[in-house]
Structure formats: structure tokens, C-alpha cells
């Protein structure tokens, strides 16, 4: 097992990147695999929707301006069946950035401009992973509490019956 594969297994987070530019997907692949993430890169937005429908991903890095459909339409489709996917929207066209209303309406967690360095994006991904980790912990605790509540309720009802 190579070092990066071992790190990915320890990390356990799956990231999908969707960009119609192969170069962006390839560069993200190198950066994110090196950081220990399990990575899937897709250049076709329609294929990305199907992948998210059929596989679990924790975070999506999504280009805004793509063919045949733009990133906001991709998010619209994904939100019909997956409300939890953490989505970071990317754009290389500052003047064509999505309006804030779109980001709010589609529940997009972050927005970043493309650059030849991925510093800003990697920071957003790291903070996104921290948020995902916290949400997973909250879900785990809620499930535990729910189970405990049911046991308490049963014990109470048993004692009342006695």
C-alpha cells in the first residue's frame, strides 16, 4: 500500500470535483490525493449528478460555468436527492459569478475563484472537512441520545406497569 492510499484510508473523506477542464481536474487530483483524500474527478456535469446519486461523497468542488449545464443546475438536481453534500462552487469568470441569492437558495457552502495556485480552495476544503466532521459527530451523538431516550422511556413505562 502506497503512503497516500494509507493516508486516504485514515482520512476517510471522499471528494468529487466537477470541471469541464481536464487540467483543473488533474491538478485537483494531485493536490487532494497528496493531502490524503479519496478523489474522483469528472468533466461531464451530467455524469457527476449520477455519480453523486449512486456513491457517497462528503464534499464536491464544482465549476460554475460548464457545458451542457452550469454548476447551479447541477446543484439544483443534486439537492433534490441529497441535502447533505458539502458543495464548494468554483469559477474562472469573476464577472459571471453566481449571485449571492443563488448560493443561499441552493445551499452552497462556499465559493472560490479559480487561480493557478489552489491555496484558497485548499483552505476552503480543509474548513469544509472540519464542518463535515463536526456534523457527523453531532449526528452520532444524536443517534446515541435517541437510543438512550428510548431505553429510559421503556424503563419508565416498565416501572409504571410494575
Q: Please state the length of the chain.
A: 162
Query: What are the residue ranges in the chain where pLDDT is below 70?
Result: 1-11, 93-99, 116
DSSP string, 100-152: HHHHHHTT--EEEE--SS-HHHHHHHHHHHHHHHHHHHHHHHHHHHHHHHHHH
Mean pLDDT for all residues in the chain: 86
Mutual orientation of helices 119-161 and 22-34 as an angle, nearest 10°?
A: 60
Rounded to whole angstroms, the Cα distance separating 102 from 62 reads 14
In this prediction, residue 7 carries a pLDDT of 46
Question: For 138-153, how does the pLDDT look when each residue is reduced to its tens digit (9 = 90+)?
Answer: 999 988 888 887 888 8
**pTM, rounded to two decimals:** 0.80
Tens-digit pLDDT profile for residues 6-37 = 444 446 899 999 999 999 999 999 989 988 89
Amino acid at each position: 500500500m502506497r503512503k497516500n492510499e494509507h493516508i486516504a484510508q485514515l482520512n476517510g473523506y471522499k471528494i468529487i470535483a466537477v470541471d469541464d477542464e481536464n487540467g483543473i481536474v488533474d491538478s485537483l487530483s494531485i493536490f487532494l490525493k497528496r493531502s490524503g483524500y479519496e478523489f474522483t474527478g469528472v468533466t461531464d456535469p451530467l455524469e457527476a449528478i449520477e455519480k453523486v446519486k449512486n456513491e457517497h461523497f462528503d464534499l464536491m468542488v464544482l465549476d460554475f460555468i460548464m457545458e451542457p449545464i452550469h454548476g447551479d443546475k447541477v446543484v439544483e438536481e443534486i439537492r433534490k436527492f441529497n441535502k447533505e453534500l458539502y458543495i464548494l462552487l468554483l469559477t474562472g469568470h469573476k464577472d459571471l459569478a453566481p449571485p449571492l441569492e443563488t448560493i443561499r437558495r441552493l445551499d452552497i457552502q462556499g465559493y472560490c475563484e479559480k487561480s493557478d495556485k489552489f491555496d484558497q480552495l485548499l483552505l476552503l476544503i480543509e474548513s469544509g472537512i472540519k464542518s463535515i466532521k463536526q456534523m457527523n459527530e453531532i449526528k452520532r451523538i444524536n443517534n446515541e441520545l435517541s437510543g438512550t431516550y428510548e431505553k429510559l422511556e421503556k424503563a419508565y413505562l416498565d416501572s409504571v406497569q410494575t
